[in-house]
Structure 1
Amino acid sequence: MKNVVILSNGPGLTEIVNKYGHSSDWIPGIINNKDINFTIKKVYEDDFDININADAYILTGSKYSIYDDIDWIYKLKNFTKKLIENQRYVLGICFGHQVLAHCLGAKVKKNKLGWELGSYKINLTEKGLKNKLFEGFSYQEIVYESHQDTVLELPDNIDILADSSKSNQSFSYNEKVFGVQFHPEFSKEVTRMLMDLRIAKGISVDSNDLLDSPKSHSVLKNFLNIAGVN
């Protein structure tokens, strides 16, 4: 039995949780492998009793910013640095992507180009096309996004795997640490609801049209394949 720890970084929007459940619970359903033991740790509730020797770790998205002055976020950064130092397999999603980038020396700031909210086209770099995280992907693919912060000034020892017209979308470090700015765990229905909720609060979108994202889920499976788990 392989062990995967999901670090849950927020309670999620009430409306979405009430209808679809919590995003941390979607990931095991997408993977659908009974030989994997998934443990969900609610680090946003200060639960850092975490096995450092698990086979892989997934850091979820969050409504918070990595620079918010909140105790559990400082603890998360320290724990993430420990994972990197111990050469564990780690995938960061959205907020998790930004935490990893920060721990590796990049800057994270609010995007001057505004939110990415909805479906977006990402472009794989030459390294991205060769990386197993994006196995089965074409040069351009549609993914689902919901973020305002963005990763800037990645160090030279980090491989950039993908970008969009507005932000860095994926990187890797040492072939064990991976970040994706987009949400491979999102469905079209969840993304639509999230868009509607945020548009109602005054957040502008580049397009209200929502395209299909047929390959996005496979990033999760590809990561666990890299980690020798799936």
Structure 2
Amino acid sequence: MQKNSLPAFILGALICLGLALLGHSAADALLQMKAMERTVTVKGLAEREVKADLAIWPIRFTQVDNDLASLYDTVQQKTDRVVAFLKQEGFSEEEISLTLPAIEDRQAQGYVDPNVKYRYAARVSLSLYTNKVELLLKSRKDMVNLVKEGIAVSGQDYDSKPEFIFSGLNEVKPAMVQQATQNARQVAEKFAKDSDSRLGKIKHASQGQFAISDRDSSTPQIKQIRIVSTLTYYLND
């Protein structure tokens, strides 16, 4: 029995040693995995101001009359005058779009408001689509000349305000993403330094969405582009 116990003892010792080494390796692996879980998440901001390169200008006016034929003649004359004004300002015919006027018969419902002087009202709409943004801004100021001719063009209504568009987002995207990423890294490096750590590789990155808005209500032709990128870095001792 003693002869058989020695090999069994040696085998048992080797097994115990192996288990001990395995446990130590597993512990080291767990510690390394735990260290890899140390991260910092930061946000990087990039902003830029640009000028709009496209504009859509709805031009509207209203004409009233008690005679339908006379109303159509007057509407046509004033519409032609507005188109001529735009061409004189420097816009091409291809940039100007016309729609049929909307005619309202105020007696069509059978009830006549005694305060309404004219039976028919025509709402006329034109649209200017152009990349001549600065010229459009100048023309809006010159529009007062049409008012002097009896064409009351709407200017302050929400539906009559020009819409300004910036179409070159793809051209500025790469530089702005780089700027936002660099900004985020600077924040992460500051955090790592303050926590006595070293900044590691990026674990996760989210570019975020580009947002384009007017710089302010007085200058809608100047746009502000903004992007916020979110990055998660590993922290090393």
Larger relative contact order, structure 1 or 2 (CA cutoff 8 Å, min sep 6): 2
Higher Cα Rg, which structure? 2
Bigger fraction of residues in helix: 2
Instruction: Provide the TM-score with structure 1 as the length reference.
Output: 0.19
Bigger fraction of residues in strand: 2
